[in-house]
Copies of this chain bind each other. A is one copy, B any other.
């Protein structure tokens, strides 16, 4: 059986383009007895893939010719594994190809009840779990807090802000462009949103929060992190979750200096979602309840067909997406 596989043609320089990807036919052969064969339904595009393309991620870095891999919602079509009979819906990491053989131990059955199964890649999946773990285990907001969230219209940021609102905090988003900011304020109901393309961030923070934020959930890093740190109320908390600022840059941005951190008396906490898998069942329940109650909204940008994935990923890395980017296969 032949499938078309989307590979990394070369390491991107700056924002990725479709030329950084190549489509190649690969022969799937017969399924190894130890694997299950799955058909992709929906593929997740996430910023961390850019770091793997640069060879700078904490795992699974790519070299030219390697298949790009993503988390996907799949249907099992062939299996010797009684726990995963044909017809099962699972989430697993797969190469960008319509059918793949995967390790059953790395397949996670997905059952979201009345929720759309594709939410298992977004608001009820890895991005949502990232937000839930970061908010409940690290940031721990309450009614006295003013929390700033960067990349506020993305699936992590939007969920973080709504969870902080639910905890009683005042929430200020940061996003790029009027359209994203309008969604963050009007639909996701953050208290405010700073359009960093229109207003100097330090000025915006001073305008909206003269006493400084008490917390910052950082999906961006780089200069944005240092600017918010410089405005943080003494003793404020910062959760480091993402580094969009670095993704298209040849050099990793320097972190805040010791003097900046000491001056702010900041508490800075690094978050990796893999550590918080134990929270997933709780989040699937809590998140679904919030969605049903209307206190948690999500935004998706869905494109059709794997051939559209490279261009959709390039859009995501230029910040032109609106919400969680999925590829329907």
Contact = CB atoms under 8 A, between A and B. Distances in A.
Contacts of A264: 270
A299 interface: no
A253 B253 CA distance: 13
Contacts of A267: 267-270
Interface stretch (A139-147, A155-163, A254-262, A311-319): A254-262
Contacts of A302: none
A275 B262 CA distance: 11
A234 interface: yes
Interface of A: 56, 58, 218, 221-222, 225, 234-235, 240-243, 246, 252-272, 275
Nearest to A51: B259
Contact of A254 (B242, B257, B271): B257
B262 A270 contact: yes
Nearest to A252: B257
15 contacts: A58-B262, A234-B275, A240-B258, A243-B262, A254-B257, A255-B255, A255-B257, A255-B258, A255-B261, A258-B270, A262-B270, A264-B270, A265-B272, A266-B270, A268-B269
A226 B113 CA distance: 46
Which of A221, A235, A259, A261 has the most chain B CB within a 10 Å cutoff?
A259
Contacts of A255: 254-258, 260-261
A277 to B, nearest CB: 14
A177 B28 CA distance: 62
Contacts of A243: 257-259, 262
Nearest to A265: B270
Nearest to A261: B270
Contacts of A268: 261, 266-269
B221 A258 contact: yes
Given A56-B259, A234-B275, A255-B260, 6 more contacts: A243-B262, A246-B257, A252-B259, A255-B258, A265-B269, A265-B270
**5 nearest A-B pairs in the assembled complex, by CB-CB distance:** A254-B254, A255-B255, A262-B270, A221-B258, A261-B270
B270 A275 contact: no
Contacts of A260: 255
Nearest to A262: B270
Contacts of A242: 258
A265 B258 CA distance: 18
Given A255-B261, A257-B252, A269 B266 contact: yes
